[in-house]
Amino acid sequence: MKSDKLRVVVAEDSPTARRLLVEILRSDPSFDVVGEARDGLEALELTRRLRPDLVTMDIQMPNMDGLEATKRIMTEVPTPVVVVSTLVERDIQTSMAALRSGALAVLQKLVGPQAPDFETEARRLRDTVKAMAAVKVIRHWPSRDEGPKPRHPTTQAPRGRPGLLAIAASTGGPAALHRILSELPATFPLPILVVQHIALGFAKGLATWLDSVCPLEVKVAEDGEALRPGVVYIAPDERHLGVRADRRVEVSNAAPVGGFRPSGTWLFRSATRVFGSSTAAAVLTGMGQDGLDGLREVHEAGGWVMAQDEATSVIYGMPAVAVAAGVVDEVLPLGDFSRRFQELAGQEARGA
């Protein structure tokens, strides 16, 4: 009889840290630690052989580090990966690289039961592993030109150019944003507002990382600043992002919408109330249905609504509910968003 327990492989080169992580997981009867790896090569081999529900992955390990092991797992035997590392807090670039490699979440390594917040952090780790183990991950192809190409959608009749681009994403979003924004030229003529659900304290790091790898300027949004063409505004930690009536950036401490702050719905509603039919909105990979009510307002106002397709989404949650609700004009594979954004903005896409 198949066990109902979540089968986990733990990859950690330190025996002490590995033992602690195994004990934290085994303290919950819903987990079964089926394998322990001392390096990335062992993690890859155990994942191939045992086919676990999830792998917890350290980053700094001998023979093969956690980033390379995550990439190999996602190309060879797609399995949810949660990175647990001391580098998460010290090196935001490494954390973003882990997400780009295919990890679904990054968590700070626990120091031990002597820490004052140990039980809270241990519970958070178990909760994250449970949530991520339920994610249906997709295969990551070794290069962007490999793998199946989804069909191009049928687009609406031509309309006027939008004045603003609003994007919402959750799990899998950082890597998706990197792909899209890195393919847009520095001359892109629209301001871009982004709500990305991410762990507390990571918004600034996400903006810094994207800014370092994309032609566009990427920054954490500040309340009241001007909306500038070719600038990407990331919602700050625990704050809504929107547009004020005077077409400046709005950062708000208002109550969460549907449990989220920042909220995609808040962003889309705010943009639509100011830009109306000149709003272009996109919903990317993510769990749940944040953004749906806001996308409905964009759609009813005559703006553009785009959603990432199932084949290229890490989690086809947020895009799926928008498509099912009939508020989406175009369903696009991840690789087509930058081209489409440039077309809407009146630019000739690079490589077109």
- DSSP bridge partners of 81: 55
- Answer yes or no: are the C-beta atoms of 192 and 282 closer than 8 Å: no
197 carries an active-site annotation: yes
**CA of residue 99 relative to chain centroid, distance:** 8
Q: Which of 290, 293, 309, 336 is catalytic?
A: 290
Q: Which of 140, 178, 197, 299 is catalytic?
A: 197
Q: Is 225 helix (H, G, I), strand (E, B) or coil?
A: coil
Give the CA dihedral 8, 132, 334, 211, nearest 10 degrees.
-100
Q: Which of 85, 95, 101, 170 is catalytic?
A: 170
- Answer yes or no: are the C-beta atoms of 233 and 249 closer than 8 Å: yes
143 carries an active-site annotation: no
> Six-digit token pair at 155?
């687009």
145 carries an active-site annotation: no
Residue 132: exposure state from Cβ atoms within 10 A (0-12, 13-18, ≥19): buried
CA atoms within 13 A on the CB side of 162: 29
List, as one string, the DSSP characters of 142-198: SSTT-S--PPPPPPPPP-PPPSEEEEEE-TTHHHHHHHHHHTS-TT--S-EEEEE--
Place of tokens 């090196």: 91
**CA of residue 238 relative to chain centroid, distance:** 16
Q: Which residues are catalytic?
A: 170, 197, 290
